[in-house]
Chains A and B, each alone.
Chain A
Amino acid sequence: MKEISEINLPDDVRYAEDHEWARLEKDKIRVGLDDYAQDQLGDIVFVELPQVGDTFKQGEEFATVESVKAVCECYLPVSGKIIAVNTALEESPELVNNSPYGDGWFVEVNPGDLSEMETLMTHDACLEKLKGAE
């Protein structure tokens, strides 16, 4: 597993408490799992995603991620309606490990309240939290 200094936490996303990330892309928000979480879980074998059209509140469970020996629930960092789902993860769940902020994205959300992004952590805040937990 990586050292804290090796964890990749890009600046163009915001981070939730449970290690989901959210990126504002014009008028929609893309969501995925951050580098720390994928590293902790190890090889991802399966991702269960919601359907297009499902709606969730901020903090509601919307997906699960499985490694061989563990299951991790994922909570939507912002409320909204799911407008796209990354179907590539069905065949290639390893994308979450290899490219957590790129091809390993989970869903695209039509957000209910954009201000919720401000409640999420920045790169700095997230790094602080990880260091503090050590």
Chain B
Amino acid sequence: MIYLPHTHEDIFSMLQVLGVDKLDDLFSTVPEDCRFNGDLNLPEAMNEWELNDHMSTLSHTMAVSPEYKVFLGAGSYEHFIPASVSYLLGRSEFVTSYTPYQPEMSQGTLQAIYEYQTLAARLLGMEVATASHYDGATALAEALLMAVRITKRKKVGISSLIHPLYRRVVQTYFEPAGYEVVELPYLNTGVTDATGLDEMDDLAAVAIQSPNFFGCIENLKALGQKTHDTNALFVVSFTEALAYGLLKNPGSHGADIVGGEGQSLGIPRSFGGPALGILASGKKHMRSLPGRLVGKTKDLDGKTGFVLTLATREQHIRREKATSNICTNNSLCALAAAMYMASVGGTGIRKLAQLNHDKAEYLKKELKKAGFTITFDSPTFNEFVVEFPTGFEANHKHLLEKKIIAGLCLAPYYPELSNHYLLCVTETRSKDDMDALVREVKS
């Protein structure tokens, strides 16, 4: 087997050193009644060529571009990834190294993650970003737990326009500790209704997603103000990181903690994972942050270098009193995001974000012209909700056969919006794709 280098001679000479006859003898400390003496019931080993065929067949069953025109967003976005990024991510020194606990031989990872932390913080207008978390949902859950730790209050308010699956994760995280989650309703303009906040003075945090699940841009300035009036921390979440290439960032609106998803930044969708949880806060709350942090320092010769720092927050030192149990970050995904942000650049990201915005606006306009109602009045980024006539499910299925995925039906998540669909347009959809979609839904 090509990954197992031992020859018979190797094994024999090593067993001799150990004074035993066969490999089985090495398990003498495993009591007989703990031993499994059969064979594992698994399929026979494939060679590399059989595996290629097998996986290729499976991959062809999947509905992806360019064969399919997929107008789905909802927390997972199709964006172009430059060849240079994919190429650089293949460097085995990045791929096959471990957490940089021995900094002298991991300066590559450490500087790269320090750069990621900086760019992520700049994108969001915050002072400190961590080395990353598993995904946007867990980043949000950790942000809220952080707020609970800081304020010592046990209740949080979250907008019902935060991604439904993110809200589900928050609930799962909060359940055992007995913390309370209160949901804020939404207005018919497609943004959060925060009037209820006036009555709530016992919240650790208020969490708002912008652009929200409907693609609408929330009034973070007003919401931030209202939140701070109740002495709660203002937590902002997001699923489409590219939006901040164009929109005012959460930091400029007074966000105390930001927890969202960075998949749009150079990470393929990959059926939902691995993803990139981005978590950021002000320096003031730095020691309450969960997750790894890379810091800049100097070595014995005075040269600049990087190390993991503030490790006393973490599980390997603080154990049960740690700010979280997190050990892994999503390092390679953070690296991909840094490479992407470096490639797109400050000038490029604005152009790209503007293009995303404009493409979605075009589709909106064409659908309106074709007689459909755009459900919500508020400005949106690259996603929006459209109302299709009753019985549209049949059309939707029909469109699948034409290799068009016309958005996400909102019924399972918002039963009051049963004929409404969430459509997403990024820079990857052409005018022709959109014209074809409009033609098909009209007929």
Contact = CB atoms under 8 A, between A and B. Distances in A.
A70 interface: yes
Contacts of B321: 71
Interface string A42-74: 000110000000000000000000101111000
Contact residues on A (Cβ < 8 Å of other chain), bracket = under 10
Interface stretch (B44-52, B240-248, B311-319): B311-319
Nearest to A71: B312
15 contacts: A45-B312, A46-B287, A46-B312, A66-B312, A68-B311, A68-B312, A69-B311, A69-B312, A69-B317, A70-B312, A70-B317, A71-B312, A71-B317, A71-B318, A71-B321
Please provide the 10 A-B residue pairs with the shortest distance between their CB atoms, ordered closest to farther: A66-B312, A71-B312, A71-B318, A71-B317, A69-B317, A70-B317, A69-B311, A68-B311, A46-B312, A70-B312
Contacts of B287: 46
Contacts of B318: 71
A68 B312 CA distance: 7
Contacts, number: 15
Chain B at the A interface: SS class? helix
A69 B312 CA distance: 6
Nearest to A68: B311
Given A45-B312, A68-B311, 9 more contacts: A46-B312, A68-B312, A69-B312, A70-B312, A70-B317, A71-B312, A71-B317, A71-B318, A71-B321
Interface centre among A69, A70, A71 (most CB of B within 10 A): A71
B314 to A, nearest CB: 10
Interface in B48-62: none
A69 B287 CA distance: 15
Nearest to B318: A71
Contacts of A70: 312, 317
Nearest to A66: B312
B429 to A, nearest CB: 50
A93 to B, nearest CB: 12
Interface in A58-115: 66, 68-71
